[in-house]
Structure 1
Amino acid sequence: MFDIHSHIIYHIDGGSHDLEESLELIRQDVEQGAHAIIATPHYYVQYPTDPARIRAKLATIEEANASALDVRLYAGNEVLWFDSMTERLQSGEILTLADSHYTLIEFYPEESYQTILRAIRNVRNAGYRPIIAHAERFKAIQEHGLAEVRDLGAYVQLSTEPLSHKGLSGLFDRETKFIQKALRNQEADFLGTDMHRVDRRPPVLRDAIDWIERNLDRDYADAVLQGNAEAILRDEEIY
């Protein structure tokens, strides 16, 4: 699997504490089936992250992991939407995914549907390809579905962890049902663990891979697990 959403870079955001934890998160991800990972530290308008610092720390992680695990690592940001986001993308202050035109965007959980639609239009009009991070978490998208945001040109990333919480009630139950429906309807494009730390939100993906391989059309399963993410590296539109 190609994991496009992670917080494996230490001392940047609320993710990994140190280099050793970064390496342990990567090891766990690889053991469960990841072959490539995009590091996406948070970018908030009030707390911007420095692209040069992200790249330098990722290079340190790659050097430390050089002979240990067979995995490809790439840089990016997960951006909490704000009105001048496109200007900061264009100036290079925000990292796109693997230096492509794809950008990973999140919203406040209770963000209005109209704001989400406006964000997609703005990012598209600026020449970038928005990916909605962990789309299953947003109330407005749960209520309105994914058809309209996809028609506007947004791509959809779903989280792997809820597919490992089958049979539970509450938050994960709702998210699991949303994710399963989106995948069965072929309305998702990418997967991500959104891993942060070993003791809090570690990578959980093996059950998700198994569920996808059992329940989905083979070509679509291959696309959502790997192929679509490879298109990010080529900076190509998926559809």
Structure 2
Amino acid sequence: MIDIHCHMLYGVDDGAKTIDESVGMLKIAHEQGIEAVILTPHLRHGMFSHPLDKIEEHYKKLKPYADECGIDLRLGTEYHVASDIVESFKSGRCHTLADSQYILTEYSSVSEFSFMLNMTKEVIFAGYIPVIAHVERYGCLVDDPDNVEELRGMGAFIQVNADAVLGIDGRGAKKYTRLLLKRGLVDFIASDSHGTKTRACNMKKCYDVVSKKYGKDYADKIMEINPSKIIYKRN
């Protein structure tokens, strides 16, 4: 499996606090059969400042530990969408997912669908491919799953969290993500892990559930094949 969304990088957001915790998260990922991880520290104005120099420094320190675990470690960003999103990526202020054309976009739970549509169009027009993070958190999509289909039709990709599928994030999130899976509207499942205990990685459990309920081919597609297109530029 490949995890395209996690907060394993220490000391830069609300994820891992120390390099020891980051190493612990790497070991958990390895034990679950994860072969590659894209680190996605938050960038959110007024909450997470996204110190790029520190992010890149900590990444370089963590990478040898990932190599020891046999995990291909890459950089990305979880960008809380604002009007300067295109400029932020064009200027190099933050990393795209594994330095590809894909970017991980996050919204507020109360964002209006019209805003999500407009920003998705803007990102695509600028030459990027948006991956909309944890869609189970947005009221405008939960209230009408057809909106997810509309976003995909525009060229966006849809990511849900493993914990949501497993019911760890609540019954509502479980019901909704499984509806999306049943309809074939999920392109990626990621851990969105933040630590070794609280919000830990549960990708293996999720893979087993998805494989059993929706088929191994679909589980492989959204947890290995699609992510490989980002990280390894595979067709």
Length-normalised TM-score, structure 1: 0.91
Aligned residues: 232
Which string of whole-angstrom CA distances, capped at 9 and with x for unpartnered residues, describes residues 123-144 of structure 1?
0011100000011111111112
Partner residue, 1:116 = 116
Once the two structures are TM-superposed, the CA of residue 56 in structure 1 deviates from its matched residue by: 2.1
Could you state the TM-score of these two structures normalised by the residue count of structure 2?
Answer: 0.93
Distance change >3 Å, CA 28–CA 234, structure 1 → 2: closer
What residue number does 1:132 align with?
Answer: 132
Give the corresponding residue for 2:13: 13
1:152 corresponds, among 151, 154, 160, to: 154
1:51 aligns with 2:49: no
Kindly state the Cα deviation for residue 235 of structure 1 after the two structures are TM-superposed.
4.2
Asked whether the 8 Å contact 2:166–2:206 carries over to 1, the reply is: yes
> Counterpart in 2 of 1:26?
26
Provide the rounded CA distance (Å) in 2 between the counterparts of 1:52 and 1:99.
16
Pairwise CA RMSD: 1.7
**Counterpart residue type for residue 45 of structure 1:** H
CA deviation string 1:2-31 (max 9, x = no partner): 111100111100110100000101111221
Structure 1 residue runs of 4+, over 4 Å off?
Answer: none
Q: Distance in 2 between matches of 1:30 and 1:213?
A: 20
Gaps of 5+ in 2: none
Distance in 1 separating the partners of 2:232 and 2:174: 31
| Whole-angstrom distance in 2 between the partners of 1:102 and 1:138 | 21
Report the more deviating stretch, 79-88 or 191-200: 191-200
Alignment of 1:31-110 (within 5 A): 31-46=31-46, 47-67=48-68, 69-110=69-110
Q: How does 1:177-188 map to 2 (within 5 A)?
A: 177-188=175-186
Instruction: Please report how far the alpha carbon of residue 206 of structure 1 lies from its aligned counterpart in structure 2 after TM superposition.
Output: 2.5
Q: Which moved more, 1:25-34 or 1:114-123?
A: 25-34
1:214-235 Cα shifts (integer Å, max 9, x gaps): 1224332211010001111244
2:208 matched to which residue of 1? 210
Q: Which runs of 5+ in 1 are unaligned?
A: none
| Deviates further, 212-221 or 138-147 | 212-221
Corresponding residue number in structure 2 for 1:231: 229
Query: Which digits, 9 at most, give the CA deviation of each residue in 1:129-184, with x for residues without a partner?
Result: 00000111111111121111111111011100123337xxxx61111111111112
SS of alignment partner, residue 143 of structure 2: helix
Bigger Cα displacement from structure 2, 58-67 vs 111-120: 58-67
Provide the rounded CA distance (Å) in 2 between the counterparts of 1:64 and 1:152: 39
Cα distance between partner residues in 2 of 1:84 and 1:201: 30
CA distance in 1, matches of 2:51, 2:95: 9
Other-structure match for 2:190: 192
CA contact (8 A) 2:66 2:73 kept: no
Q: Write out per-residue CA displacement over residues 26-57 of structure 1, whole angstroms, 9 at most, x where no aligned residue.
A: 11122123221110000013343133432221
